[in-house]
Structure 1
Amino acid sequence: MDAIYDTSVNAELLTGMRLARQAIVRGQLVVMPTDTVYGIAADAFNIEAVARLLAAKGRDRQAPPPVLIPNVATLDALAASVPDAVRALAAEFWPGGLTIILDAQPSLAWDLGETRGTVALRVPNNPIALELLAETGPLAVSSANLTGAAAARTAANAHEQLGDSVAVYLNGGEVGSEPSTIIDATALARGTGGIRILREGVISAAALRDVVGDLLEPATEILGASPASPDVSEA
Structure 2
Amino acid sequence: MSSIFDCGDEAQLLAGMRHARQAISRGELIVMPTDTVYGVAADAFSPAAVQRLLDAKGRGRDQPPPVLIGSKETLAALADSVPEAVQRLVEEFWPGGLTIVLPAQPSLVWDLGETRGTVAVRMPEGRVALELLAETGPLAVSSANLTGKAAAISAFDAERMLGDSVAVYLADGLSKEGVSSTIVDATSLARRGAEEGDGKVRILRDGAVSRERLEQVLGDLLEPEARPEDGDS
TM class by shorter chain equals over 0.9
Larger radius of gyration: 2
Task: Tell me if the contact between 1:31 and 1:170 (Cα under 8 Å) persists in the aligned partners.
Answer: yes
- After the TM superposition, which parts of structure 1 deviate over 6 Å for at least 4 consecutive aligned residues? none
How far is the alpha carbon of 1:99 from its aligned partner?
A: 0.5
1:109-158, Cα deviation, whole Å (9 max, x unpaired): 01001110001000011211111001000000001111111111111111
- In the alignment, what sits opposite 2:185? 184
2:204 equivalent to 1:203: no
Gaps of 5+ in 1: 222-235
What is the alpha-carbon distance in structure 2 between the residues aligned to residue 128 and residue 141 of structure 1? 14
Task: Tell me if the contact between 1:144 and 1:162 (Cα under 8 Å) persists in the aligned partners.
Answer: yes
How far is the alpha carbon of 1:197 from its aligned partner?
A: 1.0
> Secondary structure of the equivalent of 2:178?
coil
Gaps of 5+ in 2: 228-233
What is the alpha-carbon distance in structure 1 between the residues aligned to residue 68 and residue 152 of structure 2? 17
What is the alpha-carbon distance in structure 2 between the residues aligned to residue 67 and residue 219 of structure 1? 26
Using the TM superposition, name which of 151-160 and 98-107 deviates more.
151-160
2:39 equivalent to 1:39: yes
The equivalences for 1:78-117 within 5 A come to: 78-117=78-117
What is the alpha-carbon distance in structure 1 between the residues aligned to residue 226 and residue 48 of structure 2? 36
The equivalences for 1:64-83 within 5 A come to: 64-83=64-83
The equivalences for 1:115-194 within 5 A come to: 115-175=115-175, 176-191=177-192, 192-193=197-198, 194=200
What is the alpha-carbon distance in structure 1 between the residues aligned to residue 214 and residue 30 of structure 2? 32
What is the alpha-carbon distance in structure 2 between the residues aligned to residue 53 and residue 178 of structure 1? 21
> Secondary structure of the equivalent of 2:61?
coil
- In the alignment, what sits opposite 1:233? none
Identity %: 65
Aligned residues: 221
Task: Tell me if the contact between 1:24 and 1:43 (Cα under 8 Å) persists in the aligned partners.
Answer: yes
How far is the alpha carbon of 1:50 from its aligned partner?
A: 0.1
What is the alpha-carbon distance in structure 2 between the residues aligned to residue 219 and residue 60 of structure 1? 29
User: Counterpart of 1:217 in structure 2: which amino acid?
Assistant: E
Task: Tell me if the contact between 1:98 and 1:180 (Cα under 8 Å) persists in the aligned partners.
Answer: yes
> Secondary structure of the equivalent of 1:76?
helix
TM-score, normalising length from structure 1?
0.92
CA RMSD, aligned part only? 1.1
What is the alpha-carbon distance in structure 2 between the residues aligned to residue 147 and residue 38 of structure 1? 14
- In the alignment, what sits opposite 1:22? 22
User: Counterpart of 1:177 in structure 2: which amino acid?
Assistant: G
How far is the alpha carbon of 1:205 from its aligned partner?
A: 1.4
- In the alignment, what sits opposite 1:231? none
How far is the alpha carbon of 1:207 from its aligned partner?
A: 1.1
> Secondary structure of the equivalent of 2:70?
coil
What is the alpha-carbon distance in structure 1 between the residues aligned to residue 205 and residue 16 of structure 2? 33
User: Counterpart of 2:189 in structure 1: which amino acid?
Assistant: L
Task: Tell me if the contact between 1:29 and 1:49 (Cα under 8 Å) persists in the aligned partners.
Answer: yes
> Secondary structure of the equivalent of 1:62?
coil
